[in-house]
A and B are shown apart, each in its own frame.
Chain A
Amino acid sequence: MTGVVVSSPHVPRVNRVDRVMLQVILALIPGTLVMTWYFGWGLLINMALAVTFAVAAEAAVMHLRGRPALSTVTDLSAVVTALLLAIAIPPTLPWWLTLVGVLFAIVVVKQLYGGLGYNPFNPAMAAYVFLLISWPVAMTTWLPPHMLTDHPLSLVESLQAIFLSTPPGGTWDAISAATPLGEMRNQLGENRMISEIRQSPLWGDFGGRGWEWVGNWFLVGGLYLVWKRIITWHIPVAFIAGMLFVAGTLWALDAQTHPFPAFHLFSGGAILGAFFIATDPVTACTTKKGQLIFGAAIGALVVVIRTWGGYPDAVAFAVLLMNIAAPTIDYYTQPRVYGHAGGSK
């Protein structure tokens, strides 16, 4: 006997935080592989860097707080944050910017608020926005997918780009390209028609070439999470519905200045955001009704900010905005408790 009397229930616990996090990591694999296929080694290098920095930062803070570091690091939550940030940043981002971003995510956004479970904002998205606002050029220097470039980066070139900030061929301009969202934004800004813009080889069936397939494979991972009951369908479905509704309305009003709704869905971070970022349980709504509102609002905000805001992509901004609203939404969307008015009589 243990000697310590423990309260009921006296049964094995069926879930564990680290297993939940591990499932999320597994679910990121297909999208990550496809993204690496299209955009080169940079993503994997960034992931390795970010995970290393994140684990070190988390352990250091726990040490400073006088808490057990090992059990916190092994809950894998910092790893998930690091991976999501690595996916969001450009594959050739200088290593020290990745470090700054990870430190901001883990130390400021997560640990200064009390660590896992206490942070009001999604750490990966807050760090992404922090980097984007502070180093806008570096953060918007994306590579084109490999079929659109004459010179895909090799592993060594990727390492050079990240650690020495020396782009192969001398200038960044030579190898970088605008993201589909950025391209669409620029072209629309020059009063081009959608039909005109879509002549460019940059475009695939729904969104940007390469990009749409990244989206598809993150969707596979997301569905895996739903199947494994790591997340429920509420936030992703509401996110996509909110996005399609606003984008569809705009497109129906004027199809020449507003892209087809599927373009929004399969460009940028929409799918990743719907399944992996907006569903972060710590910063999302927890009531089912609240999750529908939360997801739909993010989806709608993404289109609104993409259309009228200052940045090409908007998932991070929309998520952070709704993070602020989550506790209030939760409070006003409490489910009807057994035996309370409003139910079956």
Chain B
Amino acid sequence: MQAAEPRFKQRRLWQFHGGIHVPDEKALSNGAPVEPSPCPPVLVLPLQQHIGAPASPVVKVGDRVLKGQLIAEPRGYVCAPVHASSSGTVVAIEDRPIPHPSGLSAPCMVIETDGLEEWADLLEPLIDYESLDPGVLRERIRNCGVVGLGGAAFPTGVKLNPGSDHPIHTLVVNGAECEPYITCDDLLMRERSGDILEGIRIVLHLLGARQCLVGIEDNKPEAIEAMRLARAESDLKDRVEVVVIPTLYPSGGERQLIKVLTGREVPSHGIPAQIGIVCQNVGTLAAVADAVLRGWPLIERYVTVTGRGVARPANLKVRIGTPANELIAQCGGLKGDLAKLVCGGPMMGFEITDTRIPIAKAANCLLALTPAEAPDPGPALPCIRCGRCADACPANLLPQQIYWNARAKDLDRVQDYNLFDCIECGCCAQVCPSHIPLVQYYRYAKTESWAREQDKRKAEQAKARHDAKLERQERQERERQAKLRSKAVKDKPAAPAAATTETGAGTAPEVDPKQAAIEAARARAAAKKAALAEQGLAPKNTEDLAPAQQKQVAAAQARRQAAGLTEPAPTPTETAAPGPKAAAATEEQA
């Protein structure tokens, strides 16, 4: 390995503010190769495993499904389909507990597997993808249900479509895996580096990007070596660089990794594409390679099952939808004193209370933590404003100020302190000497702010509707008055007697408004006709048309004329010109 070092030139790295060093605990689970997990008797597939709308089922209860078969199709653009991860029978489509911080249930497809592992017809491999349109590739990635496997589960097809106004120059590949305990990306890089490189090649082609930077923390030497070897063997040597970055949580955060590798910052409230960068997790790239080169839908992923509360920590290759308790059982079950079960890493994962929750596409880790590993922080003491949180914050926020204002429910001030730039990494809470659950306060404040924003939008819409109504009523009233006036003016010299007899009321103000309106409209039409007649024109009602439409009208007229059907029509410009004049004339009359 040491001999290999000089081959790679030292790339300049940048630093993000703050960050913390936490014991990485990766040795618990990174010692053995990935083990395939057996097919469970029941698969539970949530219909929403991604950011966006839930997918809608395309199979019914009782249907037999095959491995890789589409069972729920995307609804809307930001959505991903779901595929059966083994063959069997759909036994229910119902609410089941899902891996979500809320601990709530959501619609899931429940498949009783038959153990036959019978494959459905797969999509055609797109070996010659470099000759294909990026749109075709995106469609393939989307149809295979690929979402970001780093944790956010954003549909990859959407992320790979930054639009023509955001030309992409750099693909950043996230192999940092900065969360303690988790080693599934480490193992993936060691075992599937070739596929990751294929994925990189596909995505570089798809995005038209110039270069690719693979960021890996220096606590994963085997993964670094594997990726460097794969790069050296590929023909992407000039475009792909494997960059070793210092181990510092949270350097695997998208924004932090981009800063470390490129020195650039993703704009606040923006996306990396705005600075010409797209970031993908290594697992996502392997899934992209599977989808494009093999036609495989995303039905499996690597999951780390670890923590000192599990008998035999390991990395497993898991069918999406496998219940968590099956994986724990495969790893020898729980042992000793268990403090909590966590889905995801210890810094950003969420505690689960129901071990039947299924592994969804985004689930990278199951953590069984003992009380020594995750001690109860005890009751929070008051904030002493020591500022350690601010020193640790990778977004350079002032966490204690956000906390104070969130506690005071001062949502305006919270935004003054840029709450929404918080990535909820948990650094501030880890260093807080008062053991304040800071992240919880930020989540609360964010939720409250969103709710308030929504209320505000609703109120604004209601106000706009109300204003529009008032305006309409006022306008109608004005028009009515105007009509009445015009009628009175016209009727006076023409037929005052007729008016009285017609209405039978005797006085003008008591004229039926409806009748008056009809009369006024007639009068307007007559006046317009008269005005046009003065210019020797017939009414054509073409004044308000777009030039293109007028051109069409003119062409039709010309054709008609050529056929000898009508008299010559004025050219569009001629009709357009008198329009406003005629209107003005009518207005004056009114």
Contacts and interface: CB of A to CB of B under 8 A. Distances in A.
B384 to A, nearest CB: 5
A17 B401 CA distance: 18
A168 interface: no
B263 A12 contact: no
A65 interface: no
Contacts of B367: 10
Most chain B CB within 10 A, of A10, A14, A336, A345, is at A10
A12 B374 contact: yes
Contacts of B390: 286-287, 335
B340 A17 contact: no
B351 A338 contact: no
A284 B394 CA distance: 23
Contact of A6 (B351, B397, B443): B351
Contacts, number: 161
Interface string B394-434: 11111011000000000000000110010010100111111
Contact of B433 (A6, A10, A17, A339): A17
Contact of B381 (A8, A11, A116, A343): A116
Nearest to A115: B382
A344 B265 contact: yes
Contacts of B398: 286-287, 330, 334-335
A330 B405 CA distance: 14
B268 interface: yes
Contact of A9 (B265, B418, B430, B443): B430
B98 to A, nearest CB: 15
Contacts of A137: none
Contacts of A287: 387, 390, 398
Given A13-B430, A115-B382, A338-B259, A7 B397 contact: no
Contacts of B384: 17, 20, 77, 116-117, 281-282
A8 B265 contact: no
A75 interface: yes
A334 B434 CA distance: 22
Interface stretch (B33-41, B325-333, B342-350): B342-350
A151 interface: no
Nearest to A345: B264
A177 B443 CA distance: 60
B270 interface: yes
Interface string B230-269: 0000000000000000000000000100010001111111
Contacts of A336: 396
A84 B349 CA distance: 43
A338 B382 contact: no
A118 to B, nearest CB: 7
Interface string B502-529: 0000000000000000000000000000
Interface in B308-352: 338-342, 346-351
B369 interface: yes
Interface string A3-34: 00111111111111101100000000000000
Q: Is the interface of B mostly helix, strand, loop or mixed?
A: loop
Contact of A118 (B375, B382, B418, B434): B382
A281 B385 contact: yes
A2 B421 CA distance: 32
Interface in A156-215: none
Interface string A273-293: 000000001101011000000
A331 B391 CA distance: 17
A284 B387 CA distance: 10
B272 to A, nearest CB: 10
A149 interface: no
A339 B430 contact: no
Interface string B112-130: 0000000000000000000
A337 interface: yes
A345 to B, nearest CB: 7
A7 B342 CA distance: 10
A339 B439 contact: no
A15 B386 CA distance: 11
B493 interface: no
A282 B387 CA distance: 10
A115 B383 CA distance: 11
Interface string B171-185: 000000000100000
A337 B268 contact: yes
Given A335-B396, A338-B421, A9 B348 contact: yes
B544 to A, nearest CB: 46
Nearest to A335: B396
A275 to B, nearest CB: 15
A14 B268 contact: no
A71 interface: yes
Nearest to B269: A339
B205 interface: no
B139 interface: no
A10 B264 contact: no
A114 B513 CA distance: 70
A1 B338 contact: yes
Interface string A257-299: 0000000000000000000000001101011000000000000
B433 A8 contact: no
Contacts of B221: none
Contacts of B263: 344
B353 interface: yes
Most chain A CB within 10 A, of B375, B395, B398, is at B398
A336 B387 CA distance: 16
A339 B266 contact: yes
A14 B349 contact: no
A345 B267 CA distance: 9
Contact of B264 (A19, A286, A334, A344): A344
B440 A337 contact: no
Nearest to A9: B426
A339 B268 contact: yes
A77 B424 CA distance: 30
A9 B381 contact: no
A70 to B, nearest CB: 12
Given A338-B265, A339-B266, A340-B268, A8 B350 contact: yes
A16 B435 contact: yes
Interface string B534-562: 00000000000000000000000000000
A338 B395 contact: yes
B335 to A, nearest CB: 14
Nearest to B353: A5
A8 B250 CA distance: 14
B408 to A, nearest CB: 12
A338 B398 CA distance: 12
Interface string B357-400: 00000000001010001111101011111111011001111101
Contacts of A77: 384
B457 interface: no
A338 B349 contact: no
B163 interface: no
A116 B436 CA distance: 14
B22 interface: yes
Given A7-B437, A339-B421, A330 B350 contact: no
A10 B342 contact: yes
B433 A11 contact: no
Contacts of B270: 339
28 contacts: A1-B353, A6-B340, A6-B376, A7-B350, A7-B443, A8-B426, A9-B347, A9-B439, A10-B347, A10-B351, A10-B374, A11-B346, A11-B373, A13-B433, A19-B433, A116-B384, A117-B381, A117-B383, A117-B434, A286-B390, A287-B390, A330-B398, A330-B401, A335-B390, A337-B421, A338-B421, A339-B266, A339-B395
Given A6-B437, A10-B340, A117-B383, 6 more contacts: A8-B349, A11-B373, A13-B431, A15-B431, A286-B398, A338-B16
Interface of A: 1-2, 5-17, 19-20, 71, 75, 77, 114-118, 232, 281-282, 284, 286-287, 330, 334-340, 343-345
Closest 9 CB pairs of A and B: A9-B426, A117-B382, A15-B433, A339-B268, A7-B440, A281-B386, A10-B374, A286-B387, A338-B395
